Chains A and B, each alone.
Chain A
Amino acid sequence: MWAFINKLRSPKWFYAISAKLQPWFWAAAVLLLLLGSVWGLVFAPADYQQGNSFRIIYVHVPAAFLAQSIFVSMAISGLVFMVWKIKVADMAATVMAPLGAAMTFVALFSGAVWGVPTWGTWWMWDARLTSMLILLFLYLGVIALRGAFSSRDSGSRAASVLAMVGVINIPIIKYSVDWWYTLHQPASFTITGRSAMPMEMWAPLLIMVLGFYCFFIALTLMRTRSEILRRETNKRWVQELVEEVR
């Protein structure tokens, strides 16, 4: 464990190991996403109530899962950075924030599109959509705070603290929004409220979720690598790397 943490201290080590891992995750992501979309969009049966429009679930649900998971991993990275002063963790957190915000936006947008055939309107104050919207604001706060400091180190620490505060609040926000929604009961059903989904429908969903996760990991590795190069431009190993390429 300690040996691993000590290795993580070196961005150079991470740069090397991530180069080996990255192609595997890309391959898995492409494979799973292709399989999941074809299965989900073509072969899975249509919903008896919503018809074909339910198929947007194959984008909406994985994106919503990822939006929440990315915030948690961002907060964990922040904690690792604060406790063990591991710079790579902060670099990963830096690149995760816009990714997470984008995923939240995808979840919101697909939810709005889905709302047209189901509710007849682009926006409903549905519990899930409302929680997602608040999550988007939390992401924007973290991104804005990091950018507001003139010293990058201070910005990193401030963003880490805010991510940790946010991650403690996410379950509380989710619980209170659910409670608020049941109290007001404006709509008859939520988009993904039903649990009894036939196997032919949720198997592709599971594949899509896995595909989205692999895509996220691959993209995070790739962007963390460029962040490492950007921040360590003046370090010897990076300059040697540049010489090699030339």
Chain B
Amino acid sequence: MSMHAPSGGLMVAISATFKRDLTLLLRRRGEVLNPLVFFALVITLFPIGISPDPQLLAEIAPGLLWVAALLAALLSLDSLFRSDYDDGSLEQLLLAPQPLAALSLAKVAVHWLLTGLPLALMAPILGIMLALPAGSYMVLALSLALGTASLSLIGAIGAALTVGLARGGVLLSLLVLPLYIPVLIFGAGAVQAAILGDGIAAHLAILGALLAISLMLAPWAIAASLRISING
């Protein structure tokens, strides 16, 4: 039996992991749809709880939409590594002769593609229901698409830290929600600026910068956290 050197093939491994997670989630559509239904449901609660007055709703709509989308994205985080942990494939992922940070990035990308992006696309429809002023719809979708990518990355750190715990769900929210605040501020801020007719370039640029920082640092933190959790 001959020894062989690491054969590389990082791209093969990354694309296979991406495809695998995508296939798995698409086969269980419920898991993809649940956050979207949750989003719509929470948005429905506000007019009922506050007032159906369109003027009042329009004023708070940017914040409501952003907070509800953020919570919906959070809802699906717990399952990001959970089933891999339960069936032992997380262990195997850690033993692949490939950088774990890159492989976990592929998993996070799938999470964003099937939660963050649909939430961003759905938000304008809910915006209509909250009487969101015209002209801010594109910005709402764009800020959510950019922002939820950071949320997925930051949230994955929390998911990786709590995956070994039997009841990690509530703890996960406690860990990641404070870290979500900057994204919330600039995301909701962008929509508000668009309504007021101010420039939105600065907001989107900052959201982009937050995403860049998350992209650089989060994969390492996720990888380190997964190694800790697997030894739970």
Contacts and interface: CB of A to CB of B under 8 A. Distances in A.
Interface of A: 134, 137-138, 140-141, 144-145, 148-151, 154, 157-158, 161-162, 164-166, 168-169, 172-173, 175-177, 179-180, 183
Contact of A172 (B161, B174, B210): B210
Contact of B178 (A154, A173, A175): A173
Contacts of A141: 174-175, 178
Contacts of B186: 176
Given A150-B232, A165-B221, A134 B181 contact: yes
Contact of A138 (B162, B165, B178, B210): B178
A144 B174 contact: yes
A145 B181 contact: no
B161 A169 contact: no
A177 B185 contact: yes
Nearest to B168: A148
List the 7 closest pairs (A to B, CB-CB), nearest first. A176-B182, A137-B178, A157-B228, A176-B185, A141-B175, A180-B185, A172-B182
Given A140-B174, A151-B232, A158 B161 contact: yes
Contacts of B232: 149-151, 154
A161 B182 contact: no
Contacts of A176: 181-182, 185-186
A137 B181 CA distance: 12
Contact of B189 (A137, A172, A180): A180
B221 A177 contact: no
Given A145-B175, A148-B171, A161 B181 contact: no
Nearest to A179: B185
B178 A145 contact: no
A234 B155 CA distance: 39
Contact of A158 (B174, B189, B229): B229
A108 to B, nearest CB: 14
A166 B174 CA distance: 13
Interface in B22-37: none
B204 to A, nearest CB: 14
Which of B165, B175, B189, B232: most chain A CB closer than 10 A? Answer: B175
Contact of A154 (B157, B181, B228): B228
B177 interface: yes
B225 interface: yes
Contacts of A175: 182
A175 B213 CA distance: 15
Contacts of A140: 174
B228 to A, nearest CB: 4
Interface residues of B, number: 27
A172 B218 CA distance: 15
17 contacts: A137-B178, A140-B174, A141-B178, A144-B174, A144-B175, A145-B162, A148-B162, A148-B168, A149-B165, A157-B228, A162-B161, A164-B221, A173-B178, A173-B179, A176-B182, A176-B185, A179-B185
Interface string B129-159: 0000000000000000000000000000100
A175 B210 CA distance: 12
Given A158-B228, A179-B185, A137 B164 contact: no
Contact of A144 (B164, B171, B185): B171
Contacts of A162: 157, 161, 175
A161 B182 CA distance: 20
B10 interface: no
B164 A149 contact: yes
B179 A148 contact: no
A137 B171 CA distance: 12
B70 to A, nearest CB: 14
A26 to B, nearest CB: 34
A173 B25 CA distance: 33
B67 to A, nearest CB: 14
A153 to B, nearest CB: 8
Which of B165, B171, B181: most chain A CB closer than 10 A? Answer: B181
Given A137-B174, A161-B225, A177 B189 contact: no
B231 interface: yes
Nearest to B218: A165
